[in-house]
Structures are given as structure tokens and as C-alpha cells.
Amino acid sequence: MSNPFPGMDPYLEDDLWTSVHTDLCSEIVRQLAPKLRPKYAVLSARRVIVAPPDEGEDVSWSRFPDVGVLATGAPDWHAAGTLTAPVVLPVALSDPIPQISVEIRDVAQRRLVTCIEVLSPTNKQGPGREEYAGKRLQMLAGDAHLVEVDLLRVGSRFPTAQPLPDAPYFVFISHAGRRRNVDVWPIALDQPLPTFPIPMLPDDPPVPLDLQQALSVVYEIIGYDELIDYRQPLPGPLTPAQAAWVEERLKRAGRR
């Protein structure tokens, strides 16, 4: 079976997103590279951020095994050669989090022409949001185009002076030559993901990126539908109308 939704599968926003993010970036590279050779190279770029856990953050999901024994009462310091076992708790460590992006560079000078960022939850909330906001500011101060693909319903969005349309997903394109405006593609839950133009150097026309095709390819190859239990409630915020549409869509697809 395939994606039961016409566009983005909102169930992918949960614990599968790390894999989806990596696979989608790879498919974007595969789709664009043949269209741009030999003048441009399309490359995957990887960086790692270390995001400290927030104060009070629930770390019960930690990968450390639960081997503690919960003690009751105070330790018996006077027992003959024995001590009551301590309480063992997971440590709130700072985990390295990989971040994948797509870079388009001109072959002649290796300069960055366009950066495509498929946002992850770390880019949009928590301590990692500041790291990504700094990278965005650096990009907006430079000479390269910035494309943000935001397929996550929670967290902060690209900063705009006016409110964004009411939509769960967006694509933003900031052109190097006109930073005071940003092109915005709002994407409804019941719509296919758009095909939008990737800007190049001034002498070259933009190249289309079919985001729905990219998602569909990785969805089918990996078989994400086999990893999702569609009988469970959809995580994340939904309006009553969206919740009703999701329920009806899954029933028609035989998933409920």
C-alpha cells in the first residue's frame, strides 16, 4: 500500500522524521543533479549540532537502559557490610543531532548558489532553534538563495512581517537579489506537495523541484506505510475539520 494522503503524510512527523528527513534530502539531490550538470553540482551537506536538554525536560525516552532499583526509606548505614541500592536515573546529556541540507554549487568556482533546508524539529523548537536561526541569518546576509521546506506542523516558521496563511506546511524561497520579500507556498493537509522553482545564478532559469514526487519515491522505496500504525491518533495539533478529514481519509484507504 502507498501513502494514504494526497500530499504530506502527517504521521511521518513523529519518530520516523529523522529517517524521512535524510531520505528526502537524498532524493532531492537525485532529482536535481541530472537537470543541473555540468554547470552545477548538487551535494548533500551534513553538520552536527549539540543541543542541551531544556531544564525540566522529560528524558524518560533516553536510550539508557532502566537498570535502577528504587529504594524505599533511608540507607541503612549500620547494616553489616551492606548498603541500600541507590536510585538510578537517566542523565540529561547533550546529544549530537545530525542536520542534512542540500547545496547547489557552481562547478567553476565551487561557490554556494542555493541552499535547500528540509527543516527538522530541532530547527524549529528548543535549543536547536537558536542554532538554526543563526544559520538562517548568515544565509540571508550572503549571496546564495535560501529554500526552506517546512513539513512540520509545530515550531517556529520563517520570520515574516505579516502573518502567514493558515496552513500546516510551507515552502519558503528567499532570493539573493531581493531579501526584503520571501516567496511563500502554503500547503494544505488535503493538497499534494507543490512543484516550485529552485533559483540559480542570474543568467540561468530556475529549475523545478517536484516535492511530491520526491516524497512519494522515498515513501515507496522505504515502505513507510508499513512502519506506521494508522489506528493510533495522529500526534500534533489538528483543527476539528482537519481531524475529521484525516479520519475519513484513513477509513477510505482501509486503515481504520
Mean pLDDT over 169-198 rounds to 97
**pLDDT for residue 95 is more than 80:** no
Task: State residue 199's pLDDT score.
Answer: 98
Q: Which residues contact 16 (CB under 8 A, 6 or more apart)?
A: 224, 227, 228
| pLDDT (average), residues 131-154 | 95
Write down the pLDDT at residue 52: 60
CA distance 165 to 13: 21
With contact defined as beta carbons under 8 Å apart, do 144 and 138 qualify?
no
Percent residues over pLDDT 70 in the chain = 85
Q: What is the mean pLDDT of residues 164-175?
A: 97
3-state secondary structure of 140: helix
pLDDT at residue 100 tops 80: yes
**CA–CA dist 109, 41 (Å, integer):** 11
Q: What is the pLDDT of residue 81?
A: 58
- Nearest-CA neighbor of 143 among 170, 181, 178? 178
Cα separation, 6 vs 256, in Å, equals 17
- Taking 80 as the threshold, does the pLDDT of residue 104 lie above it? yes
68: confidence class by pLDDT, cuts 50, 70, 90 = very low
- Residue pLDDT, tens place only, 18-64: 999 999 999 999 999 999 999 999 999 987 777 665 433 333 333 33
**How far is it, in rounded angstroms, from Cα 127 to Cα 95?**
12
